Amino acid sequence: MTDDDVKRARTHARILEGFARAERALFTRPAPKSARAQMKFLRTREKGSTKSLAARLGVSRKTVQRYLSGASTKPNKRLQAALVEETESEWQPQVRAQARQHAASSGGLVISCRAYFGLGPEGTSDAGRVRDITVAVSPSHAAAIIAAQEEGATQDDLHDAVAEAIADAYFRQGGGGRADLEVKFADVEWLNITF
């Protein structure tokens, strides 16, 4: 794996983390916090099957049953992380769907990030450098990003969709005379998304 592959994988992970944080901010009710409540919720999502829940969490069926009965209450770090991640990924799907639909049809997204942006030759004010950028992304770009994320796009496709949205909104200003400007987007240190 090359250095560029590692950077793209890291960018992909940061984009997905940004989506997850944005969706958690939308919740109208808090997600279950205790291991038992999380297990009960996830079991309902698995249509009552403790076997498929155990496979989903990477634990034994007996472990799931101990948490459901209350015999176990304190999961190890790996299981706790899996419970939180899986619970939040399934929590309030209609709220998330409505926010995504609104962003893709009329609201757009706000993307804030710190990353390397390069758009001009070295020695000019447009030379590549790390920048902090916050930009409102159009609904059409939001729809492309959301579609790529929902369809499990490759890290390159998702990276390119986010890069194009930021470049168009911030550097090209919607095409205003700079429509052909080539922008390099790399080395993402952090990225936040707001619906």
DSSP calls for 166-182 = HIIIIISGGGTTTTT--
pLDDT greater than 80 at residue 28: yes
- The whole-number average pLDDT for the span 10-39 is 90
Q: What is the CA radius of gyration of the chain?
A: 20
pLDDT tens-digit profile of 126-184? 778 899 999 999 999 999 999 888 887 788 888 889 988 998 888 887 655 566 778 88
Q: What is the pLDDT of residue 120?
A: 72
pLDDT of residue 5: 79
- On the question of pLDDT at 110 being above 70, the answer is yes
Give tens-digit pLDDT for 50-105: 999 999 999 999 999 999 999 999 999 999 999 999 999 899 999 989 999 999 99
pLDDT at 47: 94
Give the single-character DSSP code of 73.
-
Tokens of 123: 């020695």
Q: What is the per-residue pLDDT across 9-22, written as a single tens digit (0 to 9) for each?
A: 888 888 888 988 89
If one compares 115 and 122, the residue with the highest pLDDT of the two is: 115
Q: Name the packing angle between helices 50-57 and 61-69 (round to 10°).
A: 110
Cβ–Cβ under 8 Å, residues 23 and 94: no
Residue 114 pLDDT exceeds 70: yes
Q: Is 154 helix (H, G, I), strand (E, B) or coil?
A: coil
Cα angle 14-16-17, degrees, rounded to a multiple of 5? 60
Structure tokens of 188?
């993402």
Instruction: Tell me what pLDDT residue 181 has.
Output: 76
CB contact set of 134 (below 8 Å; sequence gap of 6+) = 110, 111, 112
Q: What pLDDT score does 174 carry?
A: 61
* Burial letters 75-103, b for 16+ CB under 10 A, else e: beeebeebbbebbbebbbeeebeebbeeb
pTM score: 0.76
Q: CB burial class (10 A; 0-12, 13-18, 19+) of residue 61?
A: middle
Which CB contacts under 8 angstroms, 24+ apart, belong to 41-48?
Answer: 41/87, 41/90, 41/91, 42/83, 42/86, 42/87, 42/90, 43/68, 45/90
What confidence category does residue 24 fall into, taking pLDDT thresholds of 50, 70 and 90? Answer: confident
Q: Which two tokens stand for residue 74?
A: 């304190």
Cα gap 175→104, rounded to integer Å: 20
